[in-house]
Amino acid sequence: MSESNPLLYRVVPARPDAHCFEVMLEIPAPDTETLQVSMPAWIPGSYMIRDFARNLLSLVARQAGRPVALEKLDKQTWRLSGLSPQAGPVQLSYEVYAWELTVRSAHLDRSHGYYNGTSLFLCVAGAEERPCQVEILPPPGAIGTQWQVATSLASDGAPAWGFGRYRADDYADLIDHPVEMGVFDRIAFKVEGVPHWMTISGRHRADLRRLTLDLPRICAEHAALFGELPIDRYLFLTQLVGDGYGGLEHRFSTSLLANRDDLPAPAWPMAMEADMNMEAKTDREATAMEREREATPMQAPSQPSEGYRRFLGLCSHEYFHLWNVKRIRPRAFAEQGLEREVHTRLLWAFEGITSYYDDLALVRSGVIDAKAYLTLLAELITRVQRNPGRLRQSVAESSFDAWTRFYKQDENAPNAIVSYYAKGALTALALDLTIRNGTEHRKSLDDVMRALWQGYGRTGVGIGEREVEQVAAEVSGLDLTGFFDHALDSTDDLDLAPLLRTVAIEMRLRPSTSAKDNGGCVERFEPRSSRPDIGVRLQPDSAEARLGVVLDGRTAQRAGLSAGDLIIAVDGLRTNAANLDALIARAAGVGPIRVHAFRRDELFETEVLPELAPADTCELRLDEEAADAIRARRETWLASSLKSVNQA
């Protein structure tokens, strides 16, 4: 094969009703008699073997119009043999079944088409660095005249938002640009002069103008933190559903799955406009929008709802990955492929640090206030505290075992594992406050991230397993050995309360008042009495009292109750999800309670002795009586990086 000739891919959403894409791959004339092609086993950013080859429905190879022999070597690899260098290019044709509506895979029906390259594109062994072209064609029939295309792929003749030919530098670039096709809304804005878009697929009645106010501020906050924006374009691909949440990062885009009700609702009354397309039609209009936004006070019109705050946090998280993971990345990811698991102990840094900054950017940008941020932080601490698995697995072990444990959770997961997202975020918080306190706030985790960007992200050098720790020590000038040994490699709880006091925030852990009590930010710490508890969590979205989790070592487990059991009566009274806590509380004062339950189709009875609920619910409060210098440190911690840049 001549190295100058690109690989040619063609994608056709040919059978929407059967959820099938047709894909054609043309390989330039080979210089050997055999070739190998394969499908990835996993997609970067989602650490689980997904075996995308299982969705290939057919695979046919031809050269000069004649069939080519295909031999399957393993679950995802094929060998083509009997090729002739003189016979010209080799064509492979295959169908891919696409009926998984997630950010990690592919989906096709009459309403839209979506795919990641890892789901559709065969990789040619030895040609991984060869340029690629991909022609995206419309579906047959009338819908093909209505659909558009949204992707961050570079155009190779395709019109903006249109079907046609696109190009990629190599196979890794080809699979790093998800594609949405269909009818969608879109908004546009600029950050540091770089065009950004968000497409929104799925039914909604969202206030898109509110998005154009809030989202650019968050993006600008991250760009200011790192000191530069290493892209010339960026696209948020958003799919709205009735119940869903998730995101996946890419170098020039992100795919988001969100609940349609999480987007901001239009203000009432709202003027009805003929044209609801919020995209700036020209660069001049986008620039005018940017200037208008910069002139707008930093505080948004109102505090976001809980759902909208969650959506903005998702956008913030995936955008931060533009630097952290997609460019600053583990050496292990840079050196190995997509055919098998790639283990690293660094996910606490790449997902945990990102999770720390995703909500922090909301308050730094002025999209939420300090009390709203403390509510998010308190809820995060509560989530970690409520899982006994944090005392069994370190955050470094959680990172390493992501493939087989975090991504394959079962009913015992809360007892067995800790989230490298959640505890990783708290580790980042503790590291940030430790550095700030140890340097009189002259240095912070912000400086560490900038150093990682300059030393690794800009250069493309992968990070070794302990190099984040080394950079943090070098930047801060502190001996952080003890901190990292405790935070990363032990299963002890992080001692957050004294660290938070250094920025005028008080913390306490108290028993929960109900299953829905996740803690939050309060004006003052009120006395709370412990409620009776048996140590179970019910399956969500069920009216029955069916156990989803039985916590390790708690009284329900000691009484022989297990996940999946259906409690039908407490002390002879019929129970359900709504009244279980009340029945337990009413009966708890007189000793053990009788529980009748079904396991599978067998009825059994047991006695459970309720105990006091543990202090696992976090409350935070702003300490306005702290010394002026301490409160000033809090203001510095939560201050916008944009202000620092403007004042520099």
Are residue 346 and residue 198 in the same domain, yes or no?
A: no
547 is a domain residue = yes
Residue with tokens 């998005």: 211
56 has pLDDT over 70? yes
> Which band of pLDDT confidence, cut at 50, 70 and 90, is reported for residue 291?
low
**Backbone phi and psi for residue 99, each to the nearest 5 degrees, phi listed first:** -140, 45
pLDDT at 499: 99
User: C-alpha dihedral over 150, 155, 160, 163, to 10 degrees?
Assistant: -70
DSSP track, 80-132? EES--GGG--EEEEEEEE-B--STTSEEESSSEEEE-HHHH-PEETT-TTS-E
Top pLDDT among 345 and 272 is at: 345
Are residue 607 and residue 634 in the same domain, yes or no?
A: no
pLDDT at 267: 75
Are residue 191 and residue 172 in the same domain, yes or no?
A: no
pLDDT at 300: 44
Are residue 563 and residue 606 in the same domain, yes or no?
A: yes
271 has pLDDT over 50? no
Indicate the range of 158-162, 399-403, 554-558, 590-594 predicted with least confidence. 590-594
pLDDT (average), residues 502-521 = 96
pLDDT at 587: 83
pLDDT at 642: 86
49 is a domain residue = yes
pLDDT at 296: 46
Are residue 122 and residue 220 in the same domain, yes or no?
A: no
Q: Which pLDDT tens digit goes with each residue over 439-483?
A: 999 999 999 999 999 999 999 999 999 999 999 999 999 999 999
Per the prediction, the chain carries an average pLDDT of: 94
Structure tokens at 566: 């259906």
Structure tokens at 393: 């697995």
399 is a domain residue = yes
Cα 51 to Cα 35, 39, 79, 341, 400, distances in angstroms: 21, 8, 18, 11, 20
pLDDT at 16: 98
Are residue 50 and residue 77 in the same domain, yes or no?
A: yes
274 has pLDDT over 70? no
Contacts of 80 (CB under 8 A, 6+ apart): 34, 35, 36, 37, 61, 68, 69, 70, 90, 92
Are residue 363 and residue 488 in the same domain, yes or no?
A: yes
Name the domain boundary from 161, 178, 195. 178
Top pLDDT among 420 and 528 is at: 420
Are residue 55 and residue 161 in the same domain, yes or no?
A: yes
Are residue 188 and residue 166 in the same domain, yes or no?
A: no
User: Where residue 155 sits, what CATH number does that domain have?
Assistant: 2.60.40.3650
pTM reported for the whole predicted model:
0.94
pLDDT at 4: 72
Share above pLDDT 90 across residues of the chain, in percent, rounded to a whole number:
90
User: Where residue 562 sits, what CATH number does that domain have?
Assistant: 2.30.42.10
**Cα-atom radius of gyration of the chain, to the nearest Å?**
27
608 is a domain residue = yes
pLDDT at 277: 43
Q: Which pLDDT tens digit goes with each residue over 237-248?
A: 999 999 999 999
301 has pLDDT over 60? no
> Which band of pLDDT confidence, cut at 50, 70 and 90, is reported for residue 588?
confident
Are residue 458 and residue 345 in the same domain, yes or no?
A: yes
86 has pLDDT over 80? yes
556 is a domain residue = yes
Tell me if the bond preceding 301 is cis, omega within 30° of 0: no
DSSP 463: B
Structure tokens at 79: 């060998």
DSSP track, 118-138? HHH-PEETT-TTS-EEEEE-P
441 is a domain residue = yes
Name the domain boundary from 149, 178, 207. 178
Give the number of domains in the chain: 4
302 is a domain residue = no
Name the domain boundary from 178, 202, 217. 178
**Backbone phi and psi for residue 213, each to the nearest 5 degrees, phi listed first:** -85, -45
Is residue 292 within 8 Å of 280, Cβ to Cβ?
no
Are residue 632 and residue 606 in the same domain, yes or no?
A: no
pLDDT at 601: 98
Buried b (16+ CB within 10 A) or exposed e, 414-436: bbbbbbbbbbbbbbbbbbbbbbb
pLDDT (average), residues 422-435 = 99
In DSSP terms, 256 is beta-bridged to: 238, 247
Are residue 212 and residue 168 in the same domain, yes or no?
A: no
108 is a domain residue = yes
The three-point CA angle 393-432-211 to 5° equals 95
Top pLDDT among 285 and 335 is at: 335
The boundaries of the domain holding residue 595 are: 532-612
DSSP track, 161-208? TSSEEEEESSHHHHTTS-EEEES-EEEEEEETTEEEEEEEES-----H
558 has pLDDT over 60? yes
pLDDT (average), residues 85-114 = 98
pLDDT (average), residues 530-541 = 94
pLDDT (average), residues 62-90 = 97
Share above pLDDT 70 across residues of the chain, in percent, rounded to a whole number:
93
Task: Spell out the alpha helix ranges (H) of 296-405.
Answer: 306-320, 331-335, 347, 354-364, 370-385, 395-400
User: Where residue 644 sits, what CATH number does that domain have?
Assistant: 1.10.390.10
pLDDT at 334: 87
